[in-house]
A and B are shown apart, each in its own frame.
Chain A
Amino acid sequence: MGALDVKLTATDLQEIQARFAQMEVVGDRYAPDMMALVNHA
């Protein structure tokens, strides 16, 4: 619950954004049968 107290500055967010932008996530978030249930329309 202490996480509610975490405050991120604009610099923190930029750092996180930059760090993750360099990394590719491997794999879809669901297997195909479950991914088919995600609505894109």
Chain B
Amino acid sequence: MNFMPKCQLGSNGPFVSALGLGCMGMSFAYGPADEAESLRVLRRYLELGGNFLDTAEIYGPYTNEELLGRFLREVSRDSVIIATKFGFRFSPDGIRGVDSSPENVRRACDASLKRLGIATIDLFYQHRVDPKVPIEDTVGAMAGLVSAGKVRALGLSEAGPETLRRAAKIHPIAALQSEYSLWSRDVETNGVLATCRELGITFVPYSPLGRGFLTGVIQKLEDLDARDWRRTNPRFGEKALPANLRLAHAVKSSPARKARPPHNWPSPGFLPRAMTSSPSLARSECAISRRTWAHLT
């Protein structure tokens, strides 16, 4: 087992490894799933000292939690910290919009526990703020899950400063997960990072390599699978992608890039210095997902 630095989520939350493993891309959004490879990545991540796995009900939906559930049967429960998220309604046809009503909070928690095959979720995030439900009601329901022993710590995702303040008055918020990278730095100027520091909320950045783009591995739209969600993302558009390649080139020639051989350079050298916690390292964030992990294994 290798050593990886750990940090605590919030003031009373679990200790997680400095590099988390965002599992979304294993089942959702970034092209076809490959369960055998995903399980290999998960095993190797733990061997290298990682313990922080990130999923959500909406990833699939459901299939990413089910994948982690199968993986969790292989490992001891105390070797991993499981973060998952709720906040959407579903029908047989797909996603039906946001829903952070107390009823849906409780439904999602029970369903996630079942799919993951665990008794307690270590970190339960609201995935997106629901404008129709006061955050106090949502966090109140989440706090009830802590009291019931179904959840250890609470988090929000993509919430603004005032929402964070209101939420933290109801129950301690251990983590905020929002997008943060060299091409998404809003949180530095919109008060989010400052509020996290003030309230003792650990900031967990997602997409620290700009959904893989900043690695330089995506040079044209055709480099993405036909079903890859990024094809619909404005930054990967027909005109935007070529223009944004300058950013990937700048990363390639930066000081941190020079410090490590390319295949050994996933991300944290570029994590903005204001970051207060670990990155979520999504599989396809790394040019390495299929290559470096192969090196590692």
Contact = CB atoms under 8 A, between A and B. Distances in A.
Interface of A is mostly: loop
A7 B4 CA distance: 15
A15 B98 CA distance: 41
Nearest to B162: A41
Interface in A4-33: 4-9, 11-13, 15-16, 19-20, 23, 25-31
A13 B81 CA distance: 31
B26 interface: no
15 contacts: A1-B4, A2-B265, A6-B256, A6-B260, A6-B265, A6-B269, A8-B269, A13-B273, A20-B247, A25-B183, A25-B235, A25-B244, A26-B239, A27-B244, A41-B163
B234 A28 contact: yes
Q: Among A4, A12, A30, which residue has the most Cβ atoms of chain B within 10 A?
A: A4
A31 B255 CA distance: 32
A4 B162 contact: no
B180 to A, nearest CB: 10
A30 B254 contact: no
B247 A12 contact: no
A1 B184 CA distance: 23
A28 to B, nearest CB: 5
| Size bin of chain B's contact surface | 35 or more
Nearest to A27: B234
Nearest to B191: A40
Given A16-B255, A26-B239, A3 B179 contact: no
B255 A12 contact: yes
The 10 closest A-B pairs by CB, nearest first: A6-B269, A27-B234, A39-B129, A12-B255, A27-B240, A27-B235, A2-B264, A26-B240, A26-B243, A37-B128
Contact of B247 (A2, A6, A23, A41): A23
A11 B255 CA distance: 9
A19 to B, nearest CB: 5
**Size class of the contact patch on chain A:** 20 to 34
A41 to B, nearest CB: 5
Contacts of A4: 4-5, 18-19, 268
Given A6-B260, A26-B240, A39-B163, 17 more contacts: A1-B4, A1-B19, A4-B4, A6-B259, A6-B268, A8-B269, A12-B254, A16-B270, A19-B250, A20-B247, A23-B250, A27-B233, A29-B183, A31-B232, A39-B129, A41-B162, A41-B163
Contacts of A1: 2, 4, 19, 48-50, 264, 266, 296
B124 to A, nearest CB: 17
B54 to A, nearest CB: 17
A23 B222 CA distance: 24
Interface string B28-70: 0000000000000000000011100000000000000000000
B190 interface: yes
Interface string B234-266: 111101100110110010001110011100111
Given A1-B19, A8-B269, A16-B254, A26 B5 contact: no
